[in-house]
Amino acid sequence: MTNDRRYSDVKRHIDALFEQLLAHDGFGHLSVEMRLLRRGQKEVILHCEKQYRYVLDFVPVKAPEPANRDDVGSCASNEPKQASLNDPVGGGRDLIPTGHST
C-alpha cells in the first residue's frame, strides 16, 4: 500500500468522523494527535468523543434542624487530645521504649 493511499484512508476516516459528529444530536469532540516515531514514521491518533448533556431543574434538600439548639457542638471539643502511653488510640504507642539504644 503506498503512502498516498494510506494518507487518503486517514483523511477519509477523519471526514467520516466529522460527519458522524455533525449528525450527532449532542456535543462532540474531534482531535488529531501526531507523534514522531523512529525510522521516519508518524503515529496518527484520532480522538472522537460524543457527549450527551442534559440540564435538569434541581431543588436542594435542606438538612433537618437540631431539636435543641443547646446540644449543637456539645460532642466536639476544641481542645487537642493529649497523647498517653496507655492510650492505644492516642498515638502513645510510639513512645513506649523498646530497650534498644541508638
Per residue in 7-29, pLDDT (tens digit) is 999 999 999 999 999 999 889 99
What integer pLDDT is reported at residue 76 of this predicted model? 52
The torsion of the CA quartet 31, 8, 25, 45, rounded to 10 degrees, works out to -30
pTM of the model: 0.50
DSSP 53: -
Radius of gyration of the chain (CA): 32
95 pLDDT higher than 70:
no
pLDDT top residue among 24 and 93: 24
Could you tell me if residue 48 is left (phi over 0), alpha (psi between -120 and 50 degrees) or otherwise beta? Answer: beta
Torsion angles phi and psi, residue 14, rounded to 5: -60, -45
What integer pLDDT is reported at residue 53 of this predicted model? 81
Q: What is the pLDDT of residues 65-89, one digit of tens each?
A: 777 766 555 555 555 555 555 555 5
